[in-house]
Amino acid sequence: MRKLTFSELSVEELKELIRECIISVIPHLKTDKAPEEKEFYTLKETAKILDIAESTMYALNRKNIIPYYKFAGKCHYQKSDIHDAIKDNKIKSISEIEKEANNWRSNQKRKGHVR
């Protein structure tokens, strides 16, 4: 690495040196950016979105957990189906379960099934 004394450089030379350094680093930067928003995702993209292994995606296919489309030998998943599969597997909180139980009991009382 070359040592520079700033007094040796003009402002423009320093700007150009910084610009060149940044441009050389940009291609090596990694991002944690989500896959681009689109209507359908491949199995690999869907696994990445769900943060699971591709083998787990194949297991979900075998169990028909997430609907998918097969085209040209590849599985494609609709964005809304991915979201629905997540929502369908919600684990309810204790307060949600208690609320449902209270509502069920109230309905049973109105029907005269519970004293």
Q: Are the C-beta atoms of residues 57 and 47 closer than 8 Å to each other? A: yes
Residue 115 pLDDT > 60, yes or no? yes
Q: What's the burial of 40, exposed, middle or buried (CB within 10 Å: 0-12/13-18/19+)? A: middle
pLDDT confidence band for 16 (50 / 70 / 90): confident
First to last CA, the chain: 85
DSSP states of 53-106: -HHHHHHHHHTT-S--EEETTEEEEEHHHHHHHHHHTPPPPHHHHHHHHHHHHH
Q: What does the pLDDT read at residue 6?
A: 62
pLDDT tens for each residue of 17-47: 888 878 887 877 766 655 567 899 999 999 9
At 10, the pLDDT band (50, 70, 90 cuts) reads confident
The pLDDT score that the predictor gives to residue 13 is 83
How would you list the strands of the sheet with 74-78, edge to edge? Answer: 40-42, 74-78, 69-71
- Across the range 33-62, mean pLDDT stands at 89
